[in-house]
Structure 1
Amino acid sequence: MCALVFKELAYQSLDDFIYGYAKKPVKLGNGMVIGGGTVYPEINFTLPPMLISESSFPKVIAQYEEIVNGVLSKAVELESSGLIVEVELLPPCTFNPQWGVEVTKVVKAAMVDYEAKFGLKSLLRMTPVDIREGKKLKNMYRGEEWDNLFATFKGLGEAGADFLAIESVGGKHLHDEAIMNCDLPKALFSLGVVAAHDMSILWDNIVRVSNETHTIPSGDTACGLSNTSMVMANKNFIPRVFAAIDRVMTAVRTLVAVERGAVGPDKDCGYEGVYVKAITGTPISMEGKSSACAHSSTVGNIAACLADCWSNESVENMRLLGGMAPTVSMENLIYDCRLLNVAAAKDKAKDMRDFLAESDRHYDPQAYVLDPAVVLKIGGEIIKGKTHLERTKIAAAATIKELREAHQAGALNLAGREVRYLDVLENQLNSIPEDKDEFTQMIIKQTTIDKFDPAKYDL
C-alpha cells in the first residue's frame, strides 16, 4: 500500500475547525455519521480488579454483560441519539484471542438488543492491547505476540466490532527513557523514526484485517507515549513544556495510521488527534473533564473544542453513590454532548469552542497546544516536512517557538523553570544531526539494548 501524503491542511479557515464536524465524516450502516454534525458520547469501561483465567472467565463475561446493560439502559433513559461503546481489552483477552471474541459477542449482543427494543443506535469500537512488549519478545512483527494480536483483531471483526483500534507501543521503551531524562533528541528519534516505522507495518496489517472482516480501521493513539509525559509533568517530575512538545511530536506517528488507511474516529486518549484532524480531515474522539475517573489532566475543557466523539477514557465497574461507575460516566458524557450539540444547533458552536479553549489554554502549555488556532498554525508547519523524522523535528521546533512567543505576549502562564527549559530543549534540538543515519548511530551509542534493539524492529 502506498502511503498517503498530506501536503496541505484539511482546514483552511478556523471558522470551519470545530467540534462535531469533520471534512471526511465516517458514515455507518445504522445511520450514524461521525463528524457529520453531532458529537456522540463514547463510553469506555473495564473490569474491577480481578483475575482473568479460564476458571474465572464466566465471571468476566458476567461483568461485561452487567456493564453494557447498565450504560445502554442509561442511554435510553436520557434519550441519547446514539453512542459508541469502546472496550479496551485487557492483556489476557489479547494473549487468548477467543476470550476477546467472547467479550465482543456479549457486548455486541446487548447493543443489538437495545436497538431492536428501543431504537437506540450504537457502534462498537474494539481495542486489543498491544502485547508486543516484555523480555520474551523476540520481534515486533513475528512470533507469538504478533500472531495473537492479529488473531484477536480478526476474531473481533468477525464477532461484530464496528471499529478496530489500538494504542500501539512502538518505540515506547526508548521514549520512556527519554522522558525520564528530558532527552528531546531521544524522544524525537523514538517517535519520528522507530514509532513511525512501526506504525507503517502495524497499520498496513490492521487495514488488511479490517478489509477482510468488513470493519472500519479507526485509529491509533500515543497514549503510552505522550500520556506518560503528561502524567509525569502533572506530578512535577518533568517540565510541562517537555510534555507539551512531546504531545505535538506524537501527532506525526499517529498520523501514519491515516496515511496507511485508517479513517477515524481517532482514539480518545490521543490528545494529538486534534493535529490529525487538522491535517487529514478525519473525525476524532477526545477526552477531558469526563475522563477524570481515569486520570487527571489540565485540558479538561479545551480537549472538547474539536471532538467528534466525547469519551471518559476508561472506568472500572465499581459502585458509587449514583450507581455503577460506567453508568455514571455514561450520564456525564450524554450531558456533555447535549450541551455541545445544542450550541451547534443554535449556530453557537464557534462560541462554545472558543469558551472551552479560553477556559484552559492560559494555564498550562499542554492545554495551549490544543487550542484550535495553535493547532492550525503548528499543523501548517508540520506538513512542510518531507519525512516522518523531519516532520517530528519541525513539530518540536514550531512548538518551542509558539510556547515562547505565547509566554512573552502574556497569553500563556509559564513558571521561570519552564521558560528556562524551553532554551535547554531548543539547544538539544539544534544538536541533532541532519543526516538520519548519523542521528541513528548517535542514539544507538547512547542507548542500552534493553531500551532499543533495532533488530526487533527489523531496522
Structure 2
Amino acid sequence: MKFKTLAIGNSRDLMFGIAPHPVKTRRGLLIGGGMVYPELNFTVPPGAPIDRKTLPELRDKYAAAVREALERALHLDAEGLVIEFETLLEMTLDPFIGTELTKAMNEVCEEYFQKYGLKSEIRLTPNDTRDFDRPPLMRSSRHLEGMFKLFEDGAAAGGDLLSIESTGGKEVCDDALLNCDIRQVVFALSVLGVRDMKFLWGKIAGIGKRQGKILGGDTACGFGNTAMVLAEKQYIPRIFAAVVRAVSAVRSLVAIEEGAIGPDKDCAYEGVYLKAIAGIPISMEGKTAACAHLSPLGNVAAACADLWSNESVQNIKLLGGMAPTVYFEQLQYDARLMNTASASGSKGAAQLQKWLVDSDVCHDPQALILAPDSVVAISKEIVSAENYIDASVRAGLKALSIIDEAIAAGYLKSSERENVWIERLREELQSIPGDENRFVAEMQPLLDTEKVILSEYGL
C-alpha cells in the first residue's frame, strides 16, 4: 500500500471546500481550493430509445439540459459547476453515442465560458459494461474495448474529469451482502476488488495521460450503496452496512494509488476516507440525491464535500422547470450556504459542519462513521495496515468500535436487534487471515464457480 500517513490528521481540518491537494480544471475551477461547487448529474427518462437513429434527438436534449442549467447558474451568480455524464449501457456499448453526447454538452459549456466566463466541466463516467457478462469477464470481456474507447474518445471530445463506478468483485459481494457474510465482503473488496482496480485504473491512467485529462476516481457504489439501500429496506442490519462502507474505502483508494487525483465520484461516500488519507478533493451527495435513492446520510455527507451532487435525476418536466435545472438550483443554494459559512471564517465553517454532522450521526451508524472524528480514526487504521486485507479488517473493526462506544454512551440510537451484530462481526473480521494466498485458499471452496471466475482477477 502506498499511503502510510494521513494527509489530514486532525478532524478539525477535514472540512468542506478545502483539500490539501486541490485540483484545477481546464476552465479554471479550483476544486478543494476554498469553495464548494455543485455537481449536476442527469439522465434520460426511463424507456427512452438509445441508438444511432435517436442520437440527433438525444444530442439536442442533452445539450438543452446543460444550457438550461448553465443559464440558471448565471441567474444565481454561480461561480462554476461540474456536470457529470454517467453513461447508460447503450452509450458505452456504442462509444460513438457516448462520445457525441459528451461533445454536445462540452460545446455548450465552452460557449458559456467564452461568452460569460462561467466555469464548468464535464465529468465523463462510462458505466462498467463488464458486469453484463455472466459470469463477469473482468479482463477478457468483449465489452472492454468499447469501454476504453469511450474513455479515450470521450476525453478528446471534452470529458475533462474521468471516473467510473467499477464492479470488480460485485458478483461475490451481492450474495455476501444478502447473507450478511462479512468475510466474503472483505474477500470481494480487498482481494478481487483491489486486483481489479489495479488492472482497470492502470488502463484509465494511461488514457488520462495521453489525453491530458484529470483522473477523478472510482466509487464503491455497487458495494457500499447497495448495502445502504438494503439496510434502508430493513433487509440487512444498519451496523453491517456501516462496516461495509468503512471496508469499501480500501479498494477505492487503489485508484488514487494508480494516479487519480480527485475529485472522486459523488456516490463514493467512502471518499471522506480518501480525502483524509490522500488529501484529494471529493464529490459527495446527500439529501439532494433523494431523487435517486433514499439514505440516512442527508446532511453529514456534506461535512467534507468539495463538490455537492444530486447523484442523478431524470430529464423530466417538474412544476419548477426541467428536473436537471431544478436540482442544479437546490445544489447551488446548498453550495452557497457552505461557501458563505467558509467566508465568515473558520468558526462559521466549523459551526455549520457541526450542525450537518450532529443532525445525522445519532440516528444511524452509517452516518456516525462519516463524521470527521470517525473518518480520521478509521483512516489511521487503514494507513497503519500491512496490506489491503489487513487495512479492510482494521477499518471494519474500528468502525465497530466507534459504533459500540456510541451506543454504550447513549449517543447513537440503536436496538438489540442491531446490537447483537457487533460482536458477531468483530469475531468474523478477526478470523480473516492477513495473507492473501491463505485467504484465497479458505474462500475458494465457498465460491460459486458459475458466478465468479478467479482467473479473471489474476488468481
**Residue correspondence of structure 1 range 81-92 to structure 2 within 5 A:** 81-92=79-90
Q: Which residue of 1 aligns with 2:281?
A: 283
Q: Which residue of 2 aligns with 1:201?
A: 199
> Which digits, 9 at most, give the CA deviation of each residue in 1:200-243, with x for residues without a partner?
11111111100001111111000111100000000000000010
Q: Aligned partner of 2:429: which letter?
A: L
Q: Out of 77, 80, 90, which is 2:78 matched to?
A: 80
**Residue correspondence of structure 1 range 233-382 to structure 2 within 5 A:** 233-347=231-345, 348-382=348-382
Q: Which residue of 2 aligns with 1:108?
A: 106
> Which digits, 9 at most, give the CA deviation of each residue in 1:146-180, with x for residues without a partner?
11111110001111111110000000110101101
Q: Which residue of 1 aligns with 2:140?
A: 142
Identity among equivalent positions (%) equals 43
Secondary structure of 1:86 counterpart = strand
Q: Out of 14, 17, 22, which is 2:19 matched to?
A: 22
> Which digits, 9 at most, give the CA deviation of each residue in 1:276-305, with x for residues without a partner?
000000000000011111111010000000
> Which digits, 9 at most, give the CA deviation of each residue in 1:419-457, with x for residues without a partner?
001122122223323442222122111111133210222
- Could you tell me how far apart the structure 1 residues matched to 2:377 and 2:437 are? 30
Segments of structure 2 that go 5 or more residues without pairing to the other structure are none
Q: Which residue of 1 aligns with 2:185?
A: 187
Q: Which residue of 1 aligns with 2:433?
A: 433
Q: Alpha-carbon deviation of 1:60? A: 1.6
Q: Alpha-carbon deviation of 1:107? A: 0.3
- Could you tell me how far apart the structure 1 residues matched to 2:415 and 2:278 are? 34
Q: Aligned partner of 1:413: which letter?
A: K
Q: Which residue of 1 aligns with 2:411?
A: 411
Question: Is the contact between residue 177 and residue 451 of structure 1 (CA under 8 Å) also seen in structure 2?
Answer: no
- Could you tell me how far apart the structure 2 residues matched to 1:8 and 1:233 are? 32
Task: Summarize the Cα distance change of 1:437–1:56 in structure 2 as closer, same or farther, 3 Å threshold.
Answer: same
Q: Aligned partner of 1:242: which letter?
A: F
Task: Summarize the Cα distance change of 1:152–1:173 in structure 2 as closer, same or farther, 3 Å threshold.
Answer: same
The number of equivalent residue pairs is: 456
Task: Summarize the Cα distance change of 1:163–1:333 in structure 2 as closer, same or farther, 3 Å threshold.
Answer: same
Q: Aligned partner of 1:370: which letter?
A: L
Secondary structure of 1:132 counterpart = helix
Q: Which residue of 1 aligns with 2:451?
A: 451
Task: Summarize the Cα distance change of 1:48–1:249 in structure 2 as closer, same or farther, 3 Å threshold.
Answer: same
- Could you tell me how far apart the structure 1 residues matched to 2:81 and 2:218 are? 20
Task: Summarize the Cα distance change of 1:423–1:339 in structure 2 as closer, same or farther, 3 Å threshold.
Answer: same
> Which digits, 9 at most, give the CA deviation of each residue in 1:391-437, with x for residues without a partner?
01111111111111111012211111110011221222233234422
Q: Aligned partner of 1:13: which letter?
A: N
- Could you tell me how far apart the structure 2 residues matched to 1:12 and 1:436 are? 29
- Could you tell me how far apart the structure 1 residues matched to 2:388 and 2:54 are? 45
- Could you tell me how far apart the structure 2 residues matched to 1:265 and 1:245 are? 24
Task: Summarize the Cα distance change of 1:434–1:337 in structure 2 as closer, same or farther, 3 Å threshold.
Answer: closer
> Which digits, 9 at most, give the CA deviation of each residue in 1:84-143, with x for residues without a partner?
011101011111111111011100001111112222111110100010123456732234
Question: Is the contact between residue 263 and residue 283 of structure 2 (CA under 8 Å) also seen in structure 1?
Answer: yes
Q: Aligned partner of 2:11: which letter?
A: L
Q: Out of 52, 61, 64, which is 2:62 matched to?
A: 64
- Could you tell me how far apart the structure 2 residues matched to 1:91 and 1:135 are? 13
Task: Summarize the Cα distance change of 1:453–1:331 in structure 2 as closer, same or farther, 3 Å threshold.
Answer: same
Q: Aligned partner of 1:443: which letter?
A: M
Segments of structure 1 that go 5 or more residues without pairing to the other structure are none
Task: Summarize the Cα distance change of 1:135–1:15 in structure 2 as closer, same or farther, 3 Å threshold.
Answer: closer
Q: Aligned partner of 2:215: which letter?
A: P
- Report the more deviating stretch, 107-116 or 11-20: 11-20
Q: Alpha-carbon deviation of 1:15? A: 2.3
Secondary structure of 1:359 counterpart = helix
- Could you tell me how far apart the structure 2 residues matched to 1:100 and 1:154 are? 11
- Could you tell me how far apart the structure 1 residues matched to 2:133 and 2:374 are? 40
Across the aligned residues of Structure 1 and Structure 2, the Cα RMSD in angstroms comes to: 1.2
Question: Is the contact between residue 275 and residue 375 of structure 1 (CA under 8 Å) also seen in structure 2?
Answer: yes
Is residue 175 from structure 1 mapped to residue 178 from structure 2 by the alignment? no
- Could you tell me how far apart the structure 1 residues matched to 2:415 and 2:76 are? 44
Runs of 4+ in 1 over 4 A off after TM superposition: none
Q: Aligned partner of 1:440: which letter?
A: V
Q: Which residue of 2 aligns with 1:395?
A: 395
- Could you tell me how far apart the structure 2 residues matched to 1:17 and 1:395 are? 18
- Could you tell me how far apart the structure 1 residues matched to 2:136 and 2:280 are? 35
Q: Which residue of 2 aligns with 1:223?
A: 221
